[in-house]
A and B are shown apart, each in its own frame.
Chain A
Amino acid sequence: NAGVTQTPKFQVLKTGQSMTLQCAQDMNHEYMSWYRQDPGMGLRLIHYSVGAGITDQGEVPNGYNVSRSTTEDFPLRLLSAAPSQTSVYFCASSLTYPGNTIYFGEGSWLTVV
């Protein structure tokens, strides 16, 4: 049972570099989302998607792009990494939007130096 799979688990970036966090789910969920979690801030929604081809911004979208070309995949792109983007990133999915039970990936620890 793969569930929600995120890669990479750990990444160190230099300021200004770009990268993509990958997220895939095998549960045929329509709703997928990306959160970041920072100490003292809790989980904050970056972007979300209610289905293939549809994305929307969450609470903290600046500096991030997403796309949803398939039901399974929802990559998060950091366009030009900044130290403020040092965080733990969680991808999540649920069967329906807004969805009762949301399933999280194991997280991606990103450090921008």
Chain B
Amino acid sequence: RKEVEQDPGPFNVPEGATVAFNCTYSNSASQSFFWYRQDCRKEPKLLMSVYSSGNEDGRFTAQLNRASQYISLLIRDSKLSDSATYLCVVNQAGTALIFGKGTTLSVSS
């Protein structure tokens, strides 16, 4: 079983749509969780951390379910500029960050 799994997509949505990505992780000892964004032929950049209580940053909402070992990212009112690959990232104590393979989002007008 892969340590961090994501649906690769692509998710093709119109502008203004709401889209949700899910991610599952295999190690129950994982301690920190993040979503990174990667544009085509660019480096990944931190989008937001994911906290147990859930957190929101503008149109983006991240949630964590430790019991089920999954993380979600919700994007509301999608913009063309949201088109990118979204990477689920898990940090286990004492190890490096583990990256999912990413979910590709394409927003069209």
Residues of A within 8 A of B (CB): 33, 35, 40-45, 48, 58, 90, 98-102, 104-107
Contact = CB atoms under 8 A, between A and B. Distances in A.
A106 B96 contact: no
B43 A105 contact: yes
Interface string B28-70: 0000101000000111111001000000000000000000000
Contacts of B94: 98
B95 A98 contact: yes
A45 B96 contact: yes
B45 A104 contact: yes
22 contacts: A33-B96, A41-B101, A42-B87, A42-B100, A42-B101, A43-B44, A43-B87, A43-B99, A44-B99, A45-B96, A98-B92, A98-B95, A99-B91, A99-B97, A100-B32, A100-B91, A102-B46, A102-B97, A104-B43, A104-B44, A104-B45, A107-B41
Interface of B: 32, 34, 41-46, 49, 87, 91-97, 99-102
Nearest to A106: B43
A35 B93 CA distance: 19
Contacts of A43: 44, 87, 99
Interface-central residue, B32, B42, B92, B96, by most chain A CB under 10 Å: B96
A51 B94 CA distance: 14
A48 B98 CA distance: 13
Contacts of B32: 98, 100
Given A42-B102, A98-B91, A100-B32, A106 B42 contact: yes
A101 B49 CA distance: 9
B43 A98 contact: no
A90 B32 CA distance: 21
Interface-central residue, A41, A42, A58, A105, by most chain B CB under 10 Å: A42
B43 A90 contact: yes
Nearest to A58: B96
Nearest to A48: B96
Contacts of A107: 41-43
Nearest to B46: A101
Nearest to B95: A98
